[in-house]
């Protein structure tokens, strides 16, 4: 693999703009090479006798004679001279001067452009790296305080009484997590606050027992009391929001609780702080990889430059790079060593192997059995579809007497699985393209590391369910009653209900089978959607709520399941569901629930974030609710007034939803942008975005069939309903890709590559100062 592709492949996606632009520099070198070839062919290759000359004003800085040169003899033997200056912002800036230029023309100008671009890229990389390192040092200071409190909390839990029979003190070395300046700040803070500075800034990691024994019981009791004094000024950071806490906040009731020193609380604190350390260590790894990759890229590009221009500029330039902050800063390595030691000691029971397994990223390995099983179920599904078509044709089922009864009763039951399978296939395709275009979907959705499903796993589940459903359809493809019993076979009639029950049982199964982590994650987010607005809304919450709005027909099929098997005569395929007022009432309610949940999410975000766009989004959801109710009412009870109202509100809701999808959710059609698209596009073919926008508009108008009563003679009404529902699912699948692409680019713009884990403790003085 060429280095350029490997370089891009190993980039942190969210930091891509902060990396050196290797492709741009390579293209400049290609231009230099082409220029040299043209010069050689024309025989006009001439060398300059003078090594110093001022070129155009755009590149005057590159050829200016440096005052730092030692002697003219050394200058004559050098191809380039790299000088470093300190800017107004305190950062070093590097500037390269070409000491031996090529002949006048495009070749010399291209070399000037090359070094000008290279210097800018190096300065950019140095600036970003230094800023991130300083941020990590600041975070290390905060972790120092958190570990101080954790140690005190452990002492309090293990020995809650005021009388101490044991003569030992507890301390932990966290000082190496910060720089010298930051450690000095910690000492001043600790002395000012009166906390256990001697313990926190100890030089050893292990528990200090010898010192406490030599000092005697009185000094031990005093040092322990000093260690515990920090607990008087902190409280637990309640990050897990509950409906009760939300209600208390609305009623402006206090949510503060007394700090309870129990082992249950200690376990929760340790788990949360462990996650903080894991994310902290992950960002340290990102920065270490960032430094290595950029240094390697500079080395590679300079070697290419020397090879093309037959110069010896790589050595002096790399000597300067080796002296830059990018390579000389050792803070990251020191922090990594200290984090490893502290994590192993305090969160892995001194088991280094266990601790490092938790700290290091988990690499998912593709298993051959997943690929084989997926292919097997795909083959089974295709074979069953072909067999079903041949069986319908051979039996001439479409012209049988029981065909209409089957379509009114059994088809809605089985269509549920079709909706789910199509949605899962679209989600699998989304995952495939997200991975291909380096959209960090596990980070955006907040999946637990190593538990996110790949597109192969999702396809396995979808086609596995499809195979089970199609097998049930073939078994239950009876159009006539049994002449002896005068009813249909009970066993086969219960097959759809059995499959639904099996899917629900697997979904809530507590055992570690069938991707338990993903199942519980899904159920948790579903519960948060149902409980809106009692939970703070995150992307995964409203993303799933949007998916449910495209599965209204599937929810109605579940309603039909309850009515058909609960109150209908399924042995004779007789049901009075559609003539029941209760059923028709819930027919409205079921369709409104997803949009109502989405509306409440928008309201909560509008109140919390003070974002006016969320208010407009809430109005859009209300318009959709009204239009859905009017279309449903018109489908159940034809009327001219209902038809006109359905037309007006559906058209208005469609226009608002389409505009919101394209402009806000996808971030397209912004006037300042080139071609009315975004400034940054992950898909290289712009036509894809225009086609997606057109499809979104066309598929949004699928509701016209309901209002216009457009039916094909060879398609049953239930078939038409199912086809329109599938078109909506396909539209949602297209929406998913561009919505997450836009979210990913927002994270890239803010360089958010690691999720922010809330700390377990809050200082009360810090909270009051906010």
Burial of 253 (C-beta count, 10 Å sphere; 0-12/13-18/19+): exposed
Whether residue 527 is predicted with pLDDT greater than 80 in this model: the reply is yes
In eight-state DSSP terms, residue 290 is H
pLDDT tens-digit readout, 571-591:
888 888 988 999 999 999 999
What stretch of H or E contains 83?
strand 80-86
- State phi, psi for 165 to the nearest 5 degrees: -95, -20
The proportion of the chain whose per-residue pLDDT surpasses 90, expressed as a percent, equals 45
pLDDT for the residue numbered 342: 92
- The yes-or-no verdict on residue 101 having pLDDT over 60 is no
Q: What angle do CA 86, 90, 91 make, to 5 degrees?
A: 70
Between 50 and 746, the higher pLDDT residue: 746
328: which 2 tokens?
A: 């000389």
Tell me the per-residue pLDDT of 121-180, one tens digit each, with 9 for 90 and over: 999 999 999 999 999 999 999 998 888 888 888 888 887 654 443 333 344 444 445 444
pLDDT average, residue stretch 518-530: 95
Question: Looking at the predicted structure, is the pLDDT value of residue 704 above 70?
Answer: yes
Give the pTM. 0.84
Output phi, psi for 724, to 5 deg. Answer: -65, -35
How does pLDDT run across 170-199, given as a tens digit for each residue?
444 444 454 445 445 544 443 444 434 333
Q: Please enumerate in sequence order all residues whose Cβ is within 8 A of that of 524, keeping only pairs 6 or more positions apart, or say none.
A: none
Q: What would the two tokens of residue 174 be?
A: 């966290």
Write out the H or E segment, with its range, that includes residue 414.
helix 403-436
For 496, 630, 646, 704, the CA distances from 638, given in Å and listed in that order, are: 32, 11, 11, 15
pLDDT over threshold 60, residue 330: yes
Identify whether the C-beta of residue 184 lies closer than 8 Å to the C-beta of residue 201. no
CA distance 260 to 531: 29
37-46, 268-277, 424-433, 704-713: range with highest mean pLDDT: 424-433
The per-residue pLDDT for 138 is: 92
pLDDT in tens, 584-630: 999 999 999 999 999 999 999 999 888 899 999 999 999 999 999 99
Task: Please report the pLDDT score of residue 651 as a whole number.
Answer: 92
Residue 363 in tokens: 């690499």
Spatial separation of the C-alpha atoms in residues 497 and 361, rounded to whole Å? 42
Do the beta carbons of residue 512 and residue 561 sit within 8 Å? no
User: Backbone phi, then psi, for 687, in 5-degree steps?
Assistant: -60, -30
**520 vs 174, higher pLDDT:** 520
Q: Residues 302, 318: contact at Cβ < 8 Å?
A: yes
Residue-range domain boundaries for the chain: 368-749
Query: Rounded to whole angstroms, how far apart are CA atoms 725 and 419?
Result: 7
Question: What's the pLDDT score for residue 212?
Answer: 43
Angle at 148 between CA 144 and CA 149, to 5 degrees: 120
Locate 474 and state its tokens: 């073939």
Distance of alpha carbon 286 from alpha carbon 293, whole angstroms: 10
Q: How confident is the model at residue 370 (pLDDT cuts 50, 70, 90)?
A: very high
Mean pLDDT of the chain: 82
Query: Bridge-partner residues for 97, per DSSP?
Result: 81
Q: Which range among 67-76, 95-104, 226-235, 568-577 shows the weakest confidence by mean pLDDT?
A: 67-76
pLDDT value, residue 702: 85
Indicate the helix (H) or strand (E) that contains 80: strand 80-86
Phi/psi of residue 59, each to 5°?
A: -125, 25
Tokens standing for residue 700: 């949004």
| Measured distance CA(423)–CA(415) in Å, rounded | 12
């Amino acid at each position: 693999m060429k280095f350029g592709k490997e370089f891009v492949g190993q980039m942190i996606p969210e930091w891509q703009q902060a990396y050196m632009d290797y492709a741009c520099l390579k293209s400049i070198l290609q231009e230099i090479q082409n220029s040299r070839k043209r010069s050689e062919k024309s025989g006009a290759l001439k060398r300059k006798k003078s090594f110093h000359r001022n070129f155009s004003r755009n590149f005057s800085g590159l050829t200016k004679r440096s005052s730092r040169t030692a002697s003219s003899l050394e200058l004559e033997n050098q191809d380039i001279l790299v000088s470093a200056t300190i800017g107004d912002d305190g950062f070093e800036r590097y500037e390269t001067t070409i000491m031996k230029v090529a002949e006048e023309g495009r070749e010399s100008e291209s070399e000037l452009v090359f070094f000008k671009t290279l210097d800018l890229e190096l300065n950019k990389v140095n600036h970003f790296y230094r800023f991130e390192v300083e941020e990590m040092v600041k975070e290390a200071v905060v972790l120092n305080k958190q570990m101080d409190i954790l140690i005190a909390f452990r002492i309090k839990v293990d020995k809650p009484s005021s009388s101490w029979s044991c003569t030992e003190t507890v301390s932990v070395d966290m000082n190496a997590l910060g720089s010298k300046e930051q450690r000095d700040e910690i000492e001043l803070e600790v002395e000012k606050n009166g906390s256990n500075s001697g313990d926190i800034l100890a030089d050893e990691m292990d528990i200090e027992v010898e010192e406490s024994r030599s000092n005697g019981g009185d000094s031990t009791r005093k040092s322990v009391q000093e260690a515990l004094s920090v607990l008087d000024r902190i409280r637990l950071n309640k990050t897990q929001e509950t409906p009760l806490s939300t209600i208390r906040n609305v009623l402006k009731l206090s949510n503060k609780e007394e700090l309870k020193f129990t082992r249950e609380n200690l376990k929760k604190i340790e788990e949360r702080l462990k996650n903080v350390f894991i994310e902290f260590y992950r960002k340290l790894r990102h920065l270490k990889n960032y430094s290595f990759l950029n240094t390697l890229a500079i080395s590679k590009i300079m070697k290419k430059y020397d090879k093309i221009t037959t110069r010896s500029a790589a050595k002096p330039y790399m000597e300067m790079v080796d002296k830059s902050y990018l390579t000389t800063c050792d803070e990251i390595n020191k922090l990594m060593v200290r984090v490893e030691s502290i994590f192993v000691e305090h969160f892995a029971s001194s088991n280094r192997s266990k601790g490092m397994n938790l700290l290091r990223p988990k690499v998912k390995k593709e298993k051959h059995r997943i690929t084989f099983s997926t292919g097997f179920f795909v083959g089974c599904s295709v074979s069953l579809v072909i067999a079903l078509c041949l069986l319908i044709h051979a039996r001439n089922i479409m012209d049988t007497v029981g065909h209409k009864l089957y379509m009114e009763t059994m088809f809605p039951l089985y269509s549920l699985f079709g909706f789910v399978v199509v949605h899962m296939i679209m989600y699998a395709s989304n995952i495939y393209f997200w991975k291909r275009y380096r959209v960090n979907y596990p980070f955006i959705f907040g999946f637990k590391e190593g538990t996110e499903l790949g597109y192969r796993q999702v396809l396995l589940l979808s086609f596995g369910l499809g195979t089970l459903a199609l097998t049930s359809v073939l078994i239950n493809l009876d159009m006539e009653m049994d002449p002896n019993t005068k009813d249909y076979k009970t066993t086969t009639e219960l097959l759809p209900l059995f499959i639904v029950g099996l899917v629900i049982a697997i979904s809530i199964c507590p055992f570690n089978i069938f991707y338990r982590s993903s199942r519980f994650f899904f159920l948790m987010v579903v519960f948060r959607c149902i409980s809106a607005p009692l939970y703070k809304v995150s992307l995964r919450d409203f993303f799933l709520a949007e998916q449910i709005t495209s599965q209204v027909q599937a929810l109605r099929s579940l309603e039909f399941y309850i009515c058909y098997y609960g109150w209908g005569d399924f042995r004779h395929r007789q049901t009075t569901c559609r003539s029941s007022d209760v059923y028709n009432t819930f027919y409205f309610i079921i369709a409104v629930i997803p949009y109502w949940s989405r509306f409440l999410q928008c309201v909560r975000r509008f109140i919390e974030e003070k974002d006016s766009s969320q208010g407009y989004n809430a109005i859009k959801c209300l318009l959709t609710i009204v239009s859905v109710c009017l279309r449903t009412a018109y489908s159940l009870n034809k009327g001219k007034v209902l038809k006109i109202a359905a037309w007006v509100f559906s058209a208005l809701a469609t226009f608002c939803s389409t505009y919101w999808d394209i402009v806000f959710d996808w971030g397209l059609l912004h006037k300042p942008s080139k071609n009315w698209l975004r400034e940054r596009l992950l898909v290289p073919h712009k036509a894809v975005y225009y086609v997606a926008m057109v499809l979104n508009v066309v598929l949004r108008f699928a509701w016209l069939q309901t209002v216009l009563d457009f039916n094909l003679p060879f398609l049953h009404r239930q078939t038409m309903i199912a086809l329109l529902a599938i078109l909506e699912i396909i539209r949602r699948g297209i929406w998913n890709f561009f919505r997450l692409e836009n979210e990913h680019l927002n994270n890239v713009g803010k360089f958010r590559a690691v999720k922010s884990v809330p700390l377990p403790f809050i200082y009360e003085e810090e909270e009051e100062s906010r």
